[in-house]
Amino acid sequence: MNLNKTLVILTPGFPENEADSTCLPAQQVFVKALKYTYPLLQIVILSFQYPFHHESYLWNGISVVPFNGKNKGKLSRLRVWINVFMRLKKITRENNVIGIFNFWCSECALVGKYFSKYSGVKQCSWISGQDAGKQNKFIKFICPHNNELVAMYAFLAKEFYRNHAVLPGMIIPNGIDTGEFEVAAVTKIIDVCAVGSLIKLKQYDLFVKIIHQLKEHLPAINAVIYGKGPEEQTLQSGINKYQLKNNILLGGEISHPEVLQKMRQSRVFLHPSSYEGCSSVCLEALYAGAHVISFTDPGFGKIAHWHVVSSPEEMFDKALDILISTDVDYSPVLVYSMNDSAKAVMELFEPIASMKKAGQRLL
């Protein structure tokens, strides 16, 4: 048996190689931080649906085992779950497994929970977004206890409790890797920026409308949305309707390093999502030197350069105020480091007194 401590991460997807920067960038940063902070820890990642092959590989020196689920129907999904369960048996038989950490409280948490019952290995799930919503049908089969749940921020903990009557026992915020950001000075050539999947939840139709309003005061306003998704044509129609083709660029999906560079070039990062609060892109935008405007409070109290508004009208007013001001501070703001997130997660499986301040315990 390999006596090195081993942490197994269950995830719906993972980058197929080190150049695949657009696949779950926040989770990539977390895994890198975990490896950097705990170099002697062996990490094994079991990826349920993506990449679309079965060949195990190394990613930044970390073992990744893909199960090629391809998000197919129930029988295919059940086959993946069984295969993951059997691989977990093999891993725990051959290694000193200290725990199983699930990205999102969904199908990965379901397999993690039942394997934990079988083996006695501790497991915990990181609630990171829509898995806190009422539509998450996995919860009734998982039956999670509060000490098996970690919320990425307070809003998600409250949402999970409201929808599923279980209050996550810990909040461990998402963080950023400051080393990914360039330090050289950059010119702010983008007035308003947004980054994310082009889906209805993100409400980028409001982004288009607000830029239309801002154009009345700033005719040459330069705005861009980076990302791809089913709402692209709808957004393009809105751009055409308001005659904004010279003001808004749909920049498509770009690499994560490119995203960070575009954020550094931006004055305002507009996040009109109806749901998310402490999104990774908001944290990155703040450290990139942009001012963030969002509807959902991240739940960390007052944060410099992060403006929480309650309506599209307030979002417009705040954006205009920033854009017309001549003395705006665009210095970087660090809310939370991913190294701190890594320490807090390890505290779940390997309690160390010096790390107890890394996470915020609710219960």
Q: Are residues 157 and 185 in the same domain?
A: no
Q: What is the largest CA-CA distance in the chain?
A: 69
Residue 91 maps to a domain: yes
Residue 302 maps to a domain: yes
Task: Give the pLDDT score at 298.
Answer: 76
Count CB-CB contacts under 10 A for residue 331: 8
Query: Starting from the edge strand earliest in sequence, which strands make up the sheet with 266-271, in order?
Result: 248-252, 223-226, 190-195, 266-271, 291-294, 306-308
> What's the chain's Rg over C-alpha atoms?
21
Can you name the residues that pair with 2 across neighbouring β-strands?
A: 95
Q: Residue 148 belongs to a domain with what CATH number? A: 3.40.50.2000
Task: Give the pLDDT score at 276.
Answer: 67
Task: Give the pLDDT score at 361.
Answer: 44
Q: Are residues 191 and 169 in the same domain?
A: no
Q: Are residues 80 and 228 in the same domain?
A: no
Q: Are residues 276 and 349 in the same domain?
A: no
Residue 330 maps to a domain: no
Q: Are residues 101 and 186 in the same domain?
A: no
Q: Are residues 15 and 128 in the same domain?
A: yes
What residues make up the domain containing 279?
A: 178-324
Q: Are residues 276 and 203 in the same domain?
A: yes
User: Which amino acid appears at position 209 of this protein?
Assistant: K
Task: Give the pLDDT score at 41.
Answer: 96
Domain count within the chain: 2
- Residue 342 to residues 99, 173, 181, 284, 302: CA-CA distances in angstroms? 14, 10, 19, 17, 24
- 1/120 Cα distance (integer angstroms): 18
* Per-10-residue mean pLDDT, the chain, length 363: 90 96 93 96 98 97 97 94 98 97 98 98 95 95 97 91 97 92 94 96 96 98 97 98 98 96 98 80 96 87 93 98 96 94 94 45 42
Q: Are residues 42 and 152 in the same domain?
A: yes
Enter the pTM of the model: 0.87
Task: Give the pLDDT score at 362.
Answer: 43
pLDDT tens for each residue of 165-187: 999 999 999 899 999 999 899 99
